[in-house]
Structure 1
Amino acid sequence: MTVAPALAAVAAPRAPAAPTDVTPDEAARILMKSALFAPPPATLPDGRRDLVGLSRAELEAEMLAMGEKPFRARQLWHWIYHQGERDFAKMPTIARPLQQRLAERFAIGRPETSTEQLSKDGTRKWLFRFRDAQQVETVYIPDREEDRGAVCISTQVGCTLSCRFCHTGTQKLVRNLGAAEIVGQFMAARDTYSEWPSPKDGTPRHLSNIVVMGMGEPLYNYENVAKALTIVMDNEGIGLSRRRITLSTSGVVPMMDRCGAELNVGLAVSLHAVTDELRDVIVPLNRKYPIADLMAACRRYPNASNARRITFEYIMLDGVNDSEAEARELVRLLKGLPAKVNLIPFNPWPGSEYRTSKPEAIRRFAEILSAAGYASPIRRPRGRDILAACGQLKTESERVRRPAA
């Protein structure tokens, strides 16, 4: 297997590690560190609280604090997440006096759209701005064959992983997104496509899937991500099946078990290399959670089966990770695991040091995986002309220094 000259000097060989046990302390440390990058309170400058992002229990508590019955929370949940309504005055099942009281205390927010771009291939990219002026990018990728598509949502402003091939990784982590900001991206996308309320006649949606693959590492913001996805999956609201949600991780092993136990959504793993020697360089998180630990966590993921395969993302870098020997090693790593491999031609971005693998190398890589029984689609780049393709997302938000506690 070859390593590009630019990587050879920093890739130190090491023996493959045996899988290690995951301890609760590791997960606790991750959650404690996540708290340092907490989002700002979901309160407007006028003091009203945003109802988007509250759990059912929190929404009921707000109604009880107003002296209202719990069923009011169910009514609001329906209007906010099923109908997509933002104006209390347009909720006819709620009496006018209560509508006025609600409007005085609460808001139903959305992220502000700073810019919106439409690619020549139909991909749409939004730059969303939040109340503290931080911004993230969100992308809708249409599937022309099925007349539907996926919304790729972000979970952090910036990223802490610094993967060498990823444009987002060149932007320092500013903060985590809150649950309202995460689910709000999908709701704002629905606004754009006028997909409220949920259709009753079986009409297919354009926005049929969610992929948590935008800016940031979702499992380094687990609690906010889990809260947002729980809202998305609620049958009395947005009602998106867990089978239509895929969460992508670069391999935060201690949180993968919790994600599987609590959410059990589809799992995608950003692998990109088959040896620790190379993955240490292009995916630095591997130095903490090496391939053996990562693959063991994948094998523990609940309900992995031929019907619910784990997806492995593998970006094709010319002369770096695209040899036939690496394809055969990938087959060995996946043995016995229900899996498919998305082969992603590298999407260039300004200042990137890599080149896209040659078409023949990608084709041969896919043939070796296919011959071993693994689906290995070559992903067609979407939205390259607006920097909306895989690995190209980045905003100009800068880290804000927080005062010491």
Structure 2
Amino acid sequence: MTLEPTTGPRTILDISHRSRPGHGPQPEPDGGRRSLIGLTRPELAQVLSELGVPERQLRMRVGQIFRWLYNRGVTSFEAMTDVSKTLRDLMSERFTLDRLDIIEEQISADGTRKWLLRLPAAGPLGQRHEVEAVYIPEEDRGTLCVSSQVGCTLSCTFCHTGTQTLVRNLTAGEIVGQLLVARDRLGEWPEQLAANPTPPVGGRYITNIVLMGMGEPLYNFDNVKAAMEIVSDNEGLSLSRRRITLSTAGVVPMIARAGEEIGVMLAISLHGTTDEIRNKLVPLNKKYPIAELMDACRNYPGLSNARRITFEYVMLKGINDSDADAKRLVKLLEGIPAKINLIPFNPWPGSPYECSDWERIETFAEIVNRAGYASPIRTPRGRDIMAACGQLKSASERLRAKTRKALDNQAAEAAAS
């Protein structure tokens, strides 16, 4: 994901030390209590059946608990007042509703918010990794950008996350958990909204979700599918699939399946109009070249003028921003209901690219517009809080490494004395 810059002051809240209900340490997945967050309705029914809920009650109990988790946002079983105390006690013994830990929250001058979130312990060493989520408020919507993997395997050269090796896939609960944390922090649950006389965006802070954070969603297909099933459930988080966008770098064999089984809006991280350029920017192109990618887009299930594909195109000075590139882009999109998001490049330390000049971006957009395609230039957002995906996580890792080095030096000096 590439979010764009603003200048000006920002608020940084380090809240990792605070005690917050439901935000405590997560248990090991192979011991202790399992989280109920991220379970689909069938999975929740299975859990309740194992707890002894009679089959004739399962549908009712699943509906009750599902609404408490995702419509009311409760963080304790005691809050589920229409569920019997016996069942609440059984669930609390074996399960948890803990949120992802917020390690750092940053608030931009333009209202963009970014959270660095620590995941539950996983693996034989009990490692706890971190991912990012970003909330972008606009006049007509509020968009939450969520991650699907820790790190990434694609190594796109313009993307900061591409500098981080893939660690693991996120679970469905960890994907959904990003939305729960965002609603907690924005105060969007029903009881919180009732106390706010002027909520934004027609009463909803988060109206859209984009899977454009860390990782390639189609390489974590099953967990992404389960998470979006929960997110779009009308009795839960209740976001229309038309307000959910999945962004892929071009995993061609999975695109049709995504349309059939997940059914959300599709975005393609394109960024180049020739295989030569795209091979450098998006190395996955060497496996699935542009021609194959465009064919997959033309055959995307449900594609229509009402369900256009968004093509993301980061503007890199002297690399992909010429008039010839704009004309090739138009040619590539023939026969595909589409819009093009032109993204001014958000530089990060050590990046090998520069952002195209603004005049060049506008000229590029004009060529695409004249051909009949909407080509909005993404408004610069959140640069003052390192809102480009992966930057906050890297900064956190650098700080920890610096601290460890200082402690090692102190220990060495003590030993020498």
Scaled by the length of structure 2, the TM-score of the pair is 0.82
Q: Structure 1 vs Structure 2: percent identity of aligned residues?
A: 58
Q: Which residue of 2 aligns with 1:327?
A: 326
Q: 1:155 aligns with which of 144, 148, 153?
A: 148
Confirm or deny: 8 A CA contact 1:165 1:354 kept in the other structure: yes
**d(CA) in 1 for partners of 2:272 and 2:266?**
18
Q: Contact 1:82–1:236 (CA<8 Å) still a contact in 2?
A: yes
Tell me the CA shift for residue 397 of structure 1: 6.3
Letter in 1 for 2:306: A
Post-superposition offset of 1:307: 1.4
Return the alpha-carbon distance in structure 1 between the equivalents of residues 389 and 105 of structure 2: 18
Residue aligning to 1:275: 274
Residue of structure 2 in register with 1:261 after alignment = 260
The alpha-carbon distance between structure 1 residues 270 and 309, as it changes in their structure 2 partners (threshold 3 A), is: same
SS of equivalent to 1:248: strand
Deviations 1:65-85 (A, max 9, x none): 111130222211111111111
Q: Indicate which of 54, 62, 84 corresponds to 2:73.
A: 84
C-alpha distance in 2 between matches for 1:271 and 1:224? 24
Give the match's secondary structure for 1:234.
Answer: coil
The equivalent residue for 2:32 is: 47
- Alpha-carbon distance between aligned partners in 2 of 1:44 and 1:129, rounded to the nearest angstrom: 15
Instruction: Specify the alignment match of 1:95 in structure 2.
Output: 84
Contact kept? 1:163, 1:283, Cα under 8 Å: yes
Aligned residue among 116, 119, 139 for 2:134: 139
Whole-angstrom CA distance in 1 between matches of 2:377 and 2:226: 33
The SS at the match of 1:207 is: coil
Corresponding residue number in structure 2 for 1:124: 113
Measure the CA separation in 1 of the matches of 2:363 and 2:233: 43
Letter of the aligned partner of 2:36 in structure 1?
L
Correspondence 1:6-405 to 2 at 5 A = 47-69=32-54, 70=58, 71-132=60-121, 133-143=128-138, 145-146=139-140, 148-197=141-190, 203-389=202-388, 392=391, 394-395=393-394
Deviation digits for residues 42-71 of structure 1 (CA, Å, limit 9, x no counterpart): 855861111111111111111111111302
2-structure distance, mates of 1:187, 1:50? 13
Q: Distance in 2 between matches of 1:93 and 1:165?
A: 51
Over 3 Å counting, the alpha-carbon distance change for 1:243 and 1:42 in structure 2 is: farther
Contact kept, 8 Å, 1:125 with 1:139, in 2: the verdict is yes
Kindly provide the CA deviation profile for residues 274-314 of structure 1, in whole angstroms up to 9, marking residues without a partner as x: 00011111110000000001000101112222211100000
Name structure 2 gaps, 5 residues minimum. 1-25, 122-127, 399-417
Measure the CA separation in 2 of the matches of 1:142 and 1:293.
35
Contact 1:347 1:392 in 2 (8 A): no
Distance in 1 between residues matched to 2:75 and 2:106, nearest whole Å: 24
Q: Distance in 2 between matches of 1:359 and 1:97?
A: 63
Find the aligned partners of 2:392 and 2:250 in 1 and give their Cα distance. Answer: 20
Contact 1:167 1:394 in 2 (8 A): no
> Does the aligned pair in 1 maintain the 2:132–2:390 contact within 8 Å?
no
Q: Distance in 2 between matches of 1:391 and 1:175?
A: 15
Contact 2:275 2:285 (8 Å CA) reproduced: yes
The 1-side partners of 2:111 and 2:187 are apart by 16
Q: Distance in 1 between matches of 2:230 and 2:47?
A: 17
Root-mean-square deviation (Å): 2.0
Change in Cα spacing, 1:340 to 1:393, as seen in structure 2 (3 Å) is: farther
**Following the alignment from structure 1 to structure 2, what is the Cα–Cα distance between the partners of residues 192 and 331?**
41
Asked whether the 8 Å contact 1:157–1:175 carries over to 2, the reply is yes
Distance 1:43 1:233, change over 3 A: farther
67-76 or 239-248: which moved more? 67-76
Q: 1:245 deviation in Å?
A: 0.3
Q: Deviations over 1:154-187 (max 9, x none)?
A: 0000011111111110001111100000000011
Amino acid at match of 1:57: P
Amino acid at match of 2:51: M
Query: Alignment length, in residue pairs?
Result: 356
| Per-residue CA distance 1:78-119 (angstroms, 9 max, x = gap) | 111111112111111012232222211111121100000001
**Inter-partner Cα distance in structure 2 for 1:232 and 1:170:** 30
* Amino acid in structure 1 at the alignment position of 2:137: P
Q: Structure 1 residues 232, 152: CA separation in 2 closer, same or farther (over 3 Å shift)? A: same
Q: CA contact under 8 A between 1:135 and 1:397: conserved in structure 2?
A: no
Provide the C-alpha distance between the structure 2 equivalents of 1:290 and 1:42, rounded to a whole number of angstroms: 43
* Structure-2 separation of matches of 1:63 and 1:80: 15
* Aligned AA (2:219): Y
Q: Name the aligned partner's letter for residue 309 of structure 2.
A: I
In the alignment, the residues of structure 2 paired with residue 365 and residue 391 of structure 1 have an alpha-carbon distance, to the nearest angstrom, of 28
> Do the aligned residues in 2 keep the contact of 1:161 with 1:284 (CA within 8 Å)?
yes
For structure 1, which runs of at least 5 residues remain unmatched after alignment? 1-40, 399-405
Letter in 1 for 2:372: G
Letter aligned with residue 67 of structure 1? G
Cα distance per residue 1:325-365 (max 9 Å; x no partner): 11001010011210000000110000011111011111110
Distance 2:137 2:188 in 1: 15
Whole-Å separation in 1 of the counterparts to 2:85 and 2:145: 38
Mark the CA change 1:44 to 1:281 in structure 2 (over 3 Å): closer, same or farther.
closer
* Contact kept in structure 2, 1:158 and 1:394, CA below 8 Å: no
**Native 8 Å contact 1:381 1:389 kept in 2:** no
> What TM-score comes out, normalization by structure 1 length?
0.84
